[in-house]
Amino acid sequence: MSLPPKLWFQWQRIKKAFASSLGSQENPSAASVRMCPHCRALIDRDARTCPLCGEATGPTRARGASSPGRILGVIPIPTTASSVMVAINLALYAIEWYMTQNSASTQMYGAPSMGGVSGEVLRRLGDRDGALIIFDHQWWRLVTAMFLHVGLLHIGMNLWCLVDLGPEVESLFNTTKFIVLYLATGVAGFALSLWWNPGVESAGASGAIMGLIGILIGASFHHGSMGKDYRRQLWRWVIYIGIFGAIGFVFPGFSVDNAAHLGGLLSGLALGYFIPEGEPATRPGENLWNALAVLSALIIAASFALMAVQLGQPLPSL
């Protein structure tokens, strides 16, 4: 007799926790089970039909069984889209910090404290500058701004949220959908920010992170009472970030792009509600999402290429 889906899922979690406590080195990306996109039970990875709900589970994507490699034998190579996004943000912050320190030393003035990044460096590397976007048509800044941060506290808080929420969205939908959703919600956030207040410069991953929260909230409406409980926890994230954003109204020198937060959240809510969870159910659907993911990666790469082209040129005086 098969267990109910909820009990089956809990049993698998208990087994996984027990294996971890014994020091098991099983690679999660090479797991032999996956989640049914319909009832959310853990089933055999190669199963075409869920034995618990009887629905077709769609095609599976091959996964390597080897453990992730390491750069120079020390730094783990990112194995998920979430970890790749974290790595890109860290790499860009390192470049920002180096350029800020270098500029401060050559111009004989002190660099910002607490790992702060100068406004000129942010502008050079592609923050959300309304004047340059509108009048100089540098629309790629809506993408590059997602990966830039103004200091250690800024990037620390954003990456903490990304590490916590990114894998949840990626496992609930899949890697290709995650890439598309992350880019779409981040750009939507900065697009609303540009419309709301074009004269203010901003940067950061928080618009896309609010998008991830919105995606999970939108998806939770399809999961009955369990989704309601989860949704209640997610709304707490929204409230906490909203309180943090309200600080900008109390302390004028502390700027928070609340419009980008709102744009990311609203776009995430819509996408999470309407886009089906799990792997695509058909081969054409899988091909479509693969193509959209590749297009998203190309958009990100092209945006940074355009940023690099103008890096050594004087910024237009607008």
95 and 141: one domain?
yes
- The answer to the question of residue 16 being in a domain is no
83 and 57: one domain?
no
Q: Give the tokens for residue 246.
A: 């309200």
Q: Note the Cα 116 to chain centre separation in Å.
A: 23
The pairing of beta strand 33-35 with beta strand 42-44: antiparallel
- The answer to the question of residue 318 being in a domain is no
156 and 122: one domain?
yes
34 and 90: one domain?
no
Range of the domain at 59: 5-11+22-64
Nearest to 203 by CA among 116, 282, 268: 116
Question: Which band of pLDDT confidence, cut at 50, 70 and 90, is reported for residue 49?
Answer: confident
Q: Give the tokens for residue 304.
A: 């940074």
- Per-residue confidence (pLDDT) for residue 110, from 0 to 100: 56
Number of domains in the chain: 2
CATH of the domain at 207: 1.20.1540.10
Q: How distant, in Å, are the alpha carbons of 148, 162, 205 from that of 154?
A: 10, 12, 9
* Residue 116 or residue 259, greater confidence: 259
132 and 256: one domain?
yes
- Exposed, middle or buried: residue 187 (CB in 10 Å: 0-12, 13-18, 19+)? buried
Question: Which band of pLDDT confidence, cut at 50, 70 and 90, is reported for residue 32?
Answer: low
31 and 105: one domain?
no
Distance in angstroms (rounded) separating the CA atoms of residues 147 and 8: 39
> What is the percent of the chain with per-residue pLDDT over 90, rounded to a whole number?
47
Model confidence at 45: pLDDT above 90: no
147 and 269: one domain?
yes
- Per-residue confidence (pLDDT) for residue 199, from 0 to 100: 86
29 and 96: one domain?
no
**Percent helix, percent strand, percent coil in the chain, to nearest 5:** 60, 5, 35
Low-confidence winner among 16-20, 116-120, 300-304, 313-317 (lowest mean pLDDT): 16-20
- The answer to the question of residue 70 being in a domain is no
- The answer to the question of residue 316 being in a domain is no
- Per-residue confidence (pLDDT) for residue 38, from 0 to 100: 65
50 and 79: one domain?
no
197 and 251: one domain?
yes
> pTM, whole model, 2 decimals?
0.76
User: Is 248 within 8 Å of 258 (Cβ atoms)?
Assistant: yes
Model confidence at 194: pLDDT above 80: yes
145 and 277: one domain?
yes
**H or E stretch including 57?**
none
Question: Which band of pLDDT confidence, cut at 50, 70 and 90, is reported for residue 94?
Answer: very high
- The answer to the question of residue 140 being in a domain is yes
Going through the chain in order, the beta strands assigned E by DSSP cover 33-35, 42-44, 70-71, 75-76
Model confidence at 238: pLDDT above 60: yes
The model's pLDDT over 21-31, given as tens digits with 9 standing for 90+, comes to 444 444 433 34
58 and 83: one domain?
no
Mean pLDDT over each residue of the chain, to the nearest integer = 80
Model confidence at 192: pLDDT above 90: yes
Model confidence at 201: pLDDT above 60: yes
Residue 70 has φ and ψ, to the nearest 5°, of: -135, 140
Mean pLDDT of 255-266: 91
Q: Which residues are catalytic?
A: 206, 261
- Per-residue confidence (pLDDT) for residue 87, from 0 to 100: 93
